[in-house]
Homo-oligomer: A and B are copies of this chain.
Amino acid sequence: MSNQPPRPATQRLRIPGPTAVPERVRQAIAEQVVNHRGPEFRAILHETFALLKPLFGTTGDILPFAASGTGGMEAAIANIVTQGDRVLVVINGQFGDRFKAIAEAFGAIVDTAVFELGTAPDSAIIAERLAKADYRAVFVTHNESSTGAVADLAAIGAVVREHDALLVVDSVSGLGAMAVNQDQWHLDIVVTASQKALMCPPGIALVSVSAKAWNVVNRVKAARFFWDFRKAKAAADQDEAAFTPAVSLIAGLRVALDMIHAEGLANVFERHRRLATALRAGAEALGMPVFTSAPILSNSVMVLRLPDTLESGRLVNHMYQHYNTVITGARAPALNGKVIRIGTMGSIDAADILTDLHYLERSLADLGRPAQPGAGVAAAAAVLAS
């Protein structure tokens, strides 16, 4: 650790969410609070709904909740699952387990379709399972941020639409970084949250609801009040929230969505793809390949294998202590110690990726596992220039 540079004064928040929030968004959040049922806030909410729809790929209803992403997942379940309903939870990582736990808490009989950690769900197997039993809903994680595997939602949607079951998608760490085409792909409920690709602090959950889902939501006798989609829709139709919304965070979200649309949604996705590809190339050159073997790689969360002899906690801690860069370790218990995870979503650019790789390279050297100097940033730069 000779020639150790001083620790950077400004923290680099590089976890897979919450992500760093642009200054313009933070300024909007710092504005004085307004009446949540007055014309100023109704105008903000009206614009926010309109700006969100292209990100969900829907012309349908988008409902906001003052909650985190898990609250959005619970809202989806609370509105369609009643005691004794049978549901199918697709599990290929940690967040599938969460859907299972919530559905069980709400009294569902939960069948699971489990896929190996790091792989994507196989729509043919989901089709087989749907042929064998009647399900109220199928739960899928779009971007499994514990592994970096992305589900082929178009393929799964084509399967589930042939059945009465609803397709519920957790895209908390996907939406805004990668395309979601709810209407075209026949997704029934899509859940996301403010603190990932949407470049806001945590505290807003967003849920979109298809016509097929409304038929269930309006019919079932479920235990719901705060999460009640019917109340949320009645309010949203008036550009209000059913219960006091997180007005400051919504004001920030409106600005963040303005920024996304000013850049252009296709350009935002391409930026994520390019930066993620660059980080993958750079990390591989440092001896840290991506963990997942899925055909569709995450562009929002990098899950990188470490050399066998390096425990991830040491690298995470070193990046924090010496380079004031906050990355994180495994989210799935089976990967504890074996992977690091870095966010590549939201308000990031080439500087973030190159700096990540620079500090990773230095940390590996500091920890006695030097890679070829400059190999990481060079590989990334080649991608960025291509």
Q: Which residues of A contact B (CB under 8 A)?
A: 11, 13, 15, 17-21, 26-27, 29-38, 40, 66-71, 74, 101-102, 105-107, 193, 195, 201-203, 223-226, 228, 243-249, 320, 326, 328
Contacts and interface: CB of A to CB of B under 8 A. Distances in A.
A227 to B, nearest CB: 8
A70 B225 CA distance: 9
In the A-B complex, list the 7 residue pairs whose CB atoms are closest, starting with the nearest.
A203-B246, A30-B30, A201-B248, A70-B243, A68-B244, A105-B225, A74-B226
A307 B34 CA distance: 28
A26 B30 contact: yes
Contacts of A326: 34-35, 38
Contact of A18 (B17, B247, B320): B247
Q: Which of A20, A201, A247 has most B Cβ within 10 Å?
A: A201
A66 B19 CA distance: 17
Contact of A29 (B74, B106, B223, B248): B248
Contacts of A193: 244
Contacts of A246: 68, 201-203, 246, 249
A219 to B, nearest CB: 16
A133 B327 CA distance: 56
A240 to B, nearest CB: 13
Contacts of A31: 26
Nearest to A203: B246
A12 to B, nearest CB: 10
A7 to B, nearest CB: 14
Contacts of A320: 38
A370 to B, nearest CB: 27
A186 to B, nearest CB: 27
B248 A203 contact: yes
A273 to B, nearest CB: 24
Q: Which of A36, A67, A106, A228 has most B Cβ within 10 Å?
A: A67
Contacts of A228: 105
Given A66-B202, A67-B67, A106-B223, A33 B20 contact: yes
A202 B35 contact: no
Nearest to A224: B105
Given A243-B71, A247-B201, A29 B30 contact: yes
A246 B203 CA distance: 5
A29 B32 contact: no
Nearest to A327: B35
A66 B203 contact: yes
Given A18-B244, A35-B15, A244-B18, A203 B70 contact: no
Given A21-B32, A71-B243, A105-B228, 20 more contacts: A21-B33, A33-B201, A37-B328, A38-B326, A66-B71, A66-B202, A67-B67, A67-B226, A68-B244, A70-B244, A74-B225, A105-B225, A106-B223, A107-B223, A195-B244, A202-B247, A202-B248, A203-B246, A223-B223, A249-B249
Contacts of A224: 105
A249 B203 contact: yes
11 contacts: A11-B40, A13-B34, A18-B247, A37-B328, A69-B243, A74-B225, A105-B228, A107-B223, A193-B244, A202-B244, A202-B248
